[in-house]
Chains A and B, each alone.
Chain A
Amino acid sequence: MRKVGIGQALLAALWMAAASAASPTEVQRSLEQTARATTPGFAGFSAHRGEKFFKSTHGGEWSCASCHTQDPRASGRHAKTEKEIRPLSPVADPRRFTDPAKVEKWFRRNCNDVVGRACTPLEKGDVLAYVMSVRK
């Protein structure tokens, strides 16, 4: 019951945020609020954990790196269709993580494909911390 409530609150927040552009830091702050409410003992996001999550497979064929490469500053390639994908890190492409609805859409799809379920707010925040932490 409680989870549904938070999900709805998050959706509403995203809906409102979708109307205006955001910065990666704002997207991260909103993820942090949700993570704090849903993760027992939450002690902040970790770029290190995010990197590990990003580069590992999770029981399936693909990792996040299968399409986005081992270096989030580099252009990727879709593992099945070969189509080029712009770098995922906002350090390399400032358009990344500026549209909350788009971020949520791709987390939903890609986590489903790679992990077989939705990512937790902690996992999403860790990945974002990782791709924001890399240097130019």
Chain B
Amino acid sequence: MKRTANQWIHGGPIATALLLLVLAGHVRVAGADDDRFTASNEKWRAECGSCHVAYPPQLLAEESWQKLMSGLDKHFGTDASLDAVAAVEIGAFLTENAARGKRAWRAGSALRITETAWFRKEHRKVSAATWKNSKVKSPANCSACHTGAERGDYSEHSVSVPR
């Protein structure tokens, strides 16, 4: 690997540029992979995916999921109450897979994904008119723009903003 790289660099400026491109490509792919969320649980998908897309657990901090799960009967203006058995299983799945590290820190204690610092930053280029578009209606309607949201794919390669 190292030898090949050295040979390329010795091969001249074109090869060097190529190598840099390959490396840059690699970094990009790794970054995008972070926004494809594959952790799944059958109960979570059925229960938390019936009124909206099942939001990936990795997008909120553990404490937020705990708070949210303890107030399901008054859930953003609707009754989303669950039986105790389902609530325990889903609660465990959400907290086990909750945001860690930098994303957790930037999620803070918000109960809404759309009110976290990371969400605001990733969406700073989305215009006010787009948020009000009748095909979007609510920033929580992820699948209006993230065409792979049902599969947990929020990478920048599968974004299509309606006009």
A interface residues, Cβ below 8 angstroms from B: 78, 80-83, 101, 105, 108-110, 112-113
Contact = CB atoms under 8 A, between A and B. Distances in A.
A101 B86 CA distance: 12
A43 to B, nearest CB: 31
Contacts of B51: 78, 81, 83
Contacts, number: 32
A109 B52 contact: no
Interface string B62-78: 00000000000100111
Interface of A is mostly: helix
Looking at chain B, what size class is its interface with the partner chain? 10 to 19
Interface of B: 51-53, 73, 76-81, 83, 137-138, 140-141, 143-144
Interface of B is mostly: loop
A109 B137 contact: no
Contacts of B144: 82
- Nearest 8 pairs of A and B residues by beta carbon: A81-B52, A112-B79, A109-B79, A82-B141, A83-B52, A113-B78, A113-B79, A78-B51
